[in-house]
Amino acid sequence: MLFIWRGSVLPRLLYRLFLLFLLSVIVVYFNGSVFDYKIQLNPAPFTLFGIALAIFLGFRNNVSFDRFWEARKLWGSLLNTTRSLTRQAQTFSGLSADSQELNRFVNLLIAFTWCCNHQLRHTDASADLGRLLGPTEAEKFKAARYIPNMLILEMGKWLKATRESGRIEAILAANFDQNLNELSNIIGGCERIASTPIPYTYKVLLHRTVYFYCFLLPFGFVDSLGWMMPVIVTFIAYTFVALEAVADELEDPFGLEPNDLALNALCNMIENTLLEMQGHTLLPTPNHKDYNLD
């Protein structure tokens, strides 16, 4: 694992760590003096302050991971709910698996999944809508701002028409509608995470404190460590700066960075499991290394 780069924040930090290493070499060369003035610092305050800083960084990482884990649970719930809706549509409606009406409903579910992905990542959903619903029906959603919500509305209309045709009893339609409500709860939960970042002032305060601490380290350890100080200081700084970078990356779990949720892979899995329930040909599964890059 010492040589793994993918998923590591080290590539983003190399330039900053190199600058700190260079500063540390200059500090040790001049023995901690600036314009013939010796900066009197010792390791003791850095030790105490480092413990407090580590606690705050741990809190920041916990908050970021909680957001990441909640987003993952919401997408796990999306997988379960789409499976349940497909099963209910097959068993309650009395439609055959190859019927056009049933296939349309399942395609609406798959389109909903992909459109959630596109909405959270602020990408264009037109290609997936056209692929799943056809160009004519996809055109209806082209001007919509919240396409997943419009797709839930369309599935509700499908349920209403099926109920009125006598294929689904009222009590079964109510159970069916509960799962449609669950889809609304899922996309609403994802929107809440995406639109409510960690307070900016808190992030700025922690960011400035980490870098101020790291750039003072060379002056505190120059007398006790000598020429080993640049190596030790750079390693300590890597720990603190990397923790802050990881928290910043996990804060938005719907992004495209390697440690964010693999939404493309999740959408592909949901589409395949629904196609399999319909008895259709499955899509090729992308390589897991490319889940956030495809």
If residue 6 lies in a helix (H) or strand (E), which one and from where to where?
none
Distance in angstroms (rounded) separating the CA atoms of residues 152 and 172: 18
User: Can you tell me whether residue 38 is helix, strand or coil?
Assistant: strand
Instruction: State pLDDT tens for residues 243-271.
Output: 888 888 889 999 988 888 999 999 999 99
Distance in angstroms (rounded) separating the CA atoms of residues 266 and 48: 44
Distance in angstroms (rounded) separating the CA atoms of residues 165 and 169: 10
Model's pTM, two decimal places? Answer: 0.85
Structure confidence at residue 31 (pLDDT): 79
Structure confidence at residue 265 (pLDDT): 93
Does the structure show a pLDDT above 80 at 196?
A: yes
CA atoms within 13 A on the CB side of 181: 6
Sheet strands (E) in 148-204 = none
Distance in angstroms (rounded) separating the CA atoms of residues 64 and 43: 31
Distance in angstroms (rounded) separating the CA atoms of residues 182 and 62: 27
CA atoms within 13 A on the CB side of 261: 26
> Do the beta carbons of residue 294 and residue 101 sit within 8 Å?
no
Instruction: State pLDDT tens for residues 45-99.
Output: 888 888 888 888 888 899 999 999 999 999 999 999 999 999 999 888 877 777 8
In sequence order, the 6+-apart residues with CB closer than 8 A to the CB of 210 are 53, 57, 240, 241, 244
User: Can you tell me whether residue 74 is helix, strand or coil?
Assistant: helix
How many other C-beta atoms lie within 10 A of the C-beta of residue 116? Answer: 27
